[in-house]
A and B are shown apart, each in its own frame.
Chain A
Amino acid sequence: MALSNAQRQKLLLVPIYIALTAAGVFTLVPFAWLVCAAFKTNADIFTSNFLPLGDGFLGVAWGQLTLVNFVRLFRELGIGVALTNSVFLSATSALLATFCCSLAGYALAKFRFAGRGLVMSLVLAALVVPGSLLMAPGYKLLYDLGLLNSFAGLVLPGLTPAFGVFLFRQAMVNAVPATLIESARIDGAGEFRIFFTIVLPLVRPMIGAYLMITFLGTWNNFIGPQIVLQDPSSFPLSVAINQLRGLYGTDYGLIMSGTLISIAPVLALFLLLQKEFIAGLTSGAVKG
C-alpha cells in the first residue's frame, strides 16, 4: 500500500523525534543524579550512580532513601530564612529593574532630547564593562552611601543595567509605532498613561523575558550578596547552600537537597511563565 505524502512526512519525523528524545533524556541525566543524591545518605553517594542498589523492587534499596537531608535543611540549618530572602531579593530586583529599564528604553527609543546620543553611547559603552571590575568600587560606593548590609545595597545597583536599557530600547523601536503614540497624545493622554496603557502592553513579551532573566540572575547571584551583606540572616539561598560545603569535607546529600530546593521555585516560575519568556526571547527573531 502506497503511503500518502503526509504519512511519509510523519514517518520521516520518527527518527528525528527519537534522536530528540534521546538528547532530552541525556540532558536530564545530571538532574536525575541530583534528585537521587538529595534522597541518599553520604555513604550511598559514591557507591551507586543513581538510586542505591539492593534487594527491593527493581533492584533498588528503597529503604536506604531518606528525607533526613531536607529535614536537617529546614530544622537545623534554617534554609527557610534564606529562601525568603532569595524570593524577596529576586522578585524585587526583577520588578524594579524591568520597570526602570522599560522607562529608560522607552525614553531613548521614542523621545528626542539633548544628549540622547551621548546617553545611548554611554549605555553601549557600559555593556562592555565586566561586572567583576565594578565590585571593588561598587563596594566602596555602597559603604560611603551607608548601604552595606542592607537589601537596598543589592537591589539599587542593579536597577537600570545597561543590558536591560538597551534591550527595551530595541524592543520599543521595533514594537511601538510612533503614530500610535502621536494618536494617543492627540486624544489627550498624558505621557505616563501612554506608557502604561499603550507602550507596556505592546512590549509585554519582552517584559516577561526580562523579568525571568533578572529574576534568575539575582537568584543565582553568589558573590554580590556575600560582599554586601554582613549578617548571615540576610544571606540568600545561593550563599546559604554554598555554606553547606565544608573545607574539610562535603555533605553531598545536604548540598544536593539544598540545590533541589533552590531549583524548585525557579523551575515552577519558569513553567508558569514559559510562554511569555519564549515569546520575549524570539520577538524580533523573524523579520516581517
Chain B
Amino acid sequence: MSVLPRLRAFFAVTTPAVWVLLALALGAAGLIAGRSRARATGMSHWLFAKGHVPAYAPIFERWNAEQPTPATQVESLLIDGPALERRMLSGFMSGTPVADLVETERSMACRAFTGPLEDVGFVDLTDRLKAEGLMDKINGPSFAPWTSRGRIFGLPHDVHPVMLVYRADLVEAAGIDLSKVETWAEFFATMQPLMADGDGDGRPDRYLLNFWPNNRDLMELLLLQAGGGLFDADEHVAIATERNAFVLANLATWCGGPRRIAVDAPDFTATGNTLRLRGVVVAALMPDWLAGVWKLDMPELAGKLRLMPLPAWEKGGRRTSVVGGTMLGISKTSKNIESSWALVKRLYLDPEVHAAFFLRTTIIPPFKSSWTHPVFSAPDPFFGGQPSGQLYISQAGNVPTRPASPYNLPALLRVNEVLIELADRASRENIADPAVLLPKARERLAEAQSRVEKMINRNVFLHPEAPAR
C-alpha cells in the first residue's frame, strides 16, 4: 500500500474537525511555550475595579522601586467581581492562596464577616486606625460597611453620597424653579407640568424620576435616606419597621397607579441611556460614581444637567443617601502585614491620587484632607459649571450608615419582593394613596423579617450553643 492511500485512510478514521482542532492546539501550544513567564515572589494585590488600575499603577511602580527586596514588592491582579469573591472566601475558609491586599466591594466584603469575629479573614484594623488618628481623618459613616461587631476590617476607598440630577434644559424651558424644593412631595408637585401628554397618546411624554420596583439598590438607597433600612446598628434584622412600610408604600405609588411618576431607565444599558438622552426621564438618583459613568457614556448631556441634594422625605430630613462602596483590606495570611498596611495607606491616603481619580470618575475620597484640593471646587462643565466635587463633599458627612451584615443581600431581596408586590397592587387597583397600601406593607415586611431571621439563626457559627433550626 503506497503512502497516499495510507495517509488518506489514517485521516478518514475520524472527522476533519479532529485534525483542524489538533492543528489549532499544536499551533497555539507552540506560541504559548515561547512565552517567558516570571513567577511572582512578593506581595499580591487583587482588585475588581478596572477604573482603579491606572490610578494605582504609578504608585505600585514607585513602591516596587523603593523596596530593598522582592519580598515586599507588589503585583496587582484585576479579577472579575464574582471570581474575586470566590477566591477570597475560599482563601479565608479553606486556606487556599489569597492576596496580601484585597480590594473588594460592599456586597462581597460582608460575606467574609459571616462567622465568628476571630475567624474573619481580614486583619482587624481598628486599633491601627485609632492609634494613627485615622478615625478622625476619614469620613465617619464610610467605615460602616467594613465594620462588623464594632471592629473595622478595611479602609474605605470612597463615600458615594447620592444627589439628584435633573435635566436643567427641560426644567428651565418649562419655567420650573426647583430652588425652594425640600421634599419629595414638593419635588413631584413642582415638576408635574413636565408630565403632560403633549403627543396625545394617552401617556405622559416624560417621567420625573428613574426608579423601578425591581431596582433593589435604589430601593435600599431610598430606605436608608428615610431612616429605614434592613439592619439596626447592632446588625439585628430591622425589616418590619413602620418607617420601611411607609417608604415602600410611597415607592409603590411612584411606580404604579394614577400618581405614577417613575420610569424604568436602567443604568449601564443602551435602552436606559436612550431614554435619558431623549429626555423621557427628567431626574435620577445619582451617586458620585454614576456621574462619571454618565460623562463617559452620554457626553451629549454635557451642560444640560444640574445636581441638587436629594429631596427629603419630610422637611428637615436627610438630603442624601449612599449606594455602593469599596474597601481595601489585608488578609491575615499576608506574609508581611506591616508592609501591606504601609501600602494600603499609600494607595488610599494620597490627595494627588484622589484628585486624579476624581477627574476621571467624579468619585470623592473619604479622606477629609483631600477635600480642599482645588479639583473638587472646580466648575464641572458636565453639570453646567456647578462644582460637582464640593456638592458631593457637602453631603459626605450626612450619608446614612449601613451595617455590614453578610445577610444584607437576602434581606434586600425579601424586602424588594414586598415592594414589587405593592407596586403591582397599586397598578392593578389604581391606588394613589400610600395609606391604602400600608397594612399590606406591614404584613409582608413582618413575613420578610421572619424569613431572614430564620435564615440567620441557622448559622451555627454565630450561635454555637444553639442547635440549628
Contact = CB atoms under 8 A, between A and B. Distances in A.
Contacts of B80: 222-223, 226, 239, 242-243
Contact of A249 (B18, B29, B51): B51
B97 interface: yes
Given A230-B77, A250-B268, A204 B21 contact: no
A207 interface: yes
Nearest to B83: A226
A170 interface: no
B297 interface: yes
B21 A91 contact: yes
Point out which of A215, A230, A273 has the most chain B C-beta atoms below 10 A from its C-beta. A230
A34 to B, nearest CB: 12
B28 interface: yes
A264 interface: no
Interface class of chain B by DSSP: helix
A107 interface: no
Given A43-B299, A226-B79, A227-B86, A247 B25 contact: no
A212 B17 contact: yes
A245 B411 CA distance: 29
B94 interface: yes
Given A87-B24, A136-B86, A223-B82, A249 B31 contact: no
Contact of B32 (A85, A139, A276): A85
Interface stretch (B8-16, B245-253, B367-375, B431-439): B8-16
Contact of A95 (B16, B25, B274, B360): B25
A43 B13 CA distance: 53
A88 B25 contact: yes
B270 A45 contact: yes
Interface stretch (A18-26, A112-120, A158-166, A193-201): A193-201
A127 interface: no
A30 to B, nearest CB: 11
Contacts of A197: 13
A207 B25 contact: no
B50 A196 contact: no
Nearest to B28: A88
Contacts of A57: none
A94 B14 CA distance: 14
Contacts of B460: none
Nearest to B90: A139
Contact of A248 (B16, B49, B94): B49
Interface stretch (B109-117, B186-194, B288-296, B344-352): B288-296
A220 interface: no
Contacts of A250: 268, 293, 296-297
A207 B28 CA distance: 22
B65 interface: no
Contact of B12 (A92, A201, A242, A244): A201
A269 B48 contact: no
A276 B16 contact: yes
B300 interface: yes
Nearest to A92: B25
B218 interface: no
Interface string A244-274: 1111111110000000000000000100110
A143 B32 contact: no
Interface string B291-333: 0110111111000000000000000000000000000000000
A227 B300 contact: no
A91 B28 contact: yes
Contacts of A244: 50
A7 interface: no
Given A226-B79, A248-B289, A46 B270 contact: yes
A282 interface: no
Nearest to A203: B14
Contacts of A51: none
A165 B363 CA distance: 52
A273 B87 contact: no
The 7 closest A-B pairs by CB, nearest first: A226-B83, A88-B28, A249-B296, A91-B25, A247-B49, A87-B28, A91-B24
Interface of B: 12-18, 20-22, 24-25, 27-29, 31-32, 35, 37, 48-52, 77-80, 82-83, 86-87, 90, 94, 96-97, 268, 270, 273-274, 277, 289, 292-293, 295-300, 360-361, 363
Interface of A: 42-43, 45-47, 81, 84-85, 87-88, 91-92, 94-95, 98, 135-136, 139-140, 143, 148, 151, 196-197, 200-201, 204-205, 207-208, 211-212, 215, 222-223, 226-227, 230-233, 239, 242-252, 269, 272-273, 276
23 contacts: A42-B297, A45-B270, A46-B273, A87-B28, A91-B25, A140-B90, A143-B97, A148-B97, A151-B32, A207-B14, A223-B86, A226-B79, A226-B80, A232-B77, A233-B35, A239-B80, A243-B78, A246-B49, A247-B49, A247-B50, A247-B289, A248-B363, A269-B20
Given A200-B13, A249-B361, A273-B17, 14 more contacts: A46-B273, A140-B90, A148-B97, A212-B17, A227-B87, A231-B77, A232-B77, A246-B51, A248-B51, A248-B296, A249-B51, A249-B296, A273-B16, A276-B15
